[in-house]
Amino acid sequence: MKPLLTVLLLFLGIRLMAAEFSISFHEASDEPRAGFVEHAYRTNQQVYVGPDSGITTAHIAKLAHFFSEGEHALGITFTAAGAQLNHAFTTRMLKQRIAIFINQRLVADPMVLAPSNDDCVISGPTKEEIDQLIAAFNNR
């Protein structure tokens, strides 16, 4: 009975993920900091996640699937207001880590190497996840 339950829960999880889309960008750190919450990431990594940047789904104009440096990646194009928030956030977080959550799941914790404006590319999600996210975003 357990394998059937696992398959059913996996199916329901995929169906729910396809039905909704949310994204958030946060400050992050490899070390504990006041006000930051510990999150497990990948198999053996801990990330400490801090305040939200204010960038939400409403600040996204378009999502696209890219293949970048041998990995599937999610391309994000921001609205004008989103581009302003993104630029302010990535400027403030220059040479620091950020945490990116998609559907409340930590998918990336990159270091900001340069401020960005209108768009960004996030590697980490699988091709199937990217396709589901794009479909959910387009159907919202």
pLDDT in tens, the chain (140 residues): 444 333 333 333 444 444 578 889 999 999 999 999 999 887 678 899 999 999 999 999 999 999 878 889 999 999 999 999 999 999 999 999 999 998 888 888 888 989 999 999 888 778 988 898 899 889 87
Residues 90 and 97: their CA atoms lie apart, in Å, by 10
Which structural domains are found in the chain, ordered by start?
A: 2-138 (3.30.1360.200)
Count of C-beta atoms within a 10 Å radius of residue 76? 24
**Cα separations (Å) of 8 from 1, 11, 13, 23, 74?**
11, 5, 8, 26, 27
Which token pair is 43?
Answer: 């198999």
Q: Within 13 Å of residue 34, how many CA atoms lie on the same side as its CB?
A: 0
pTM, rounded to two decimals: 0.76
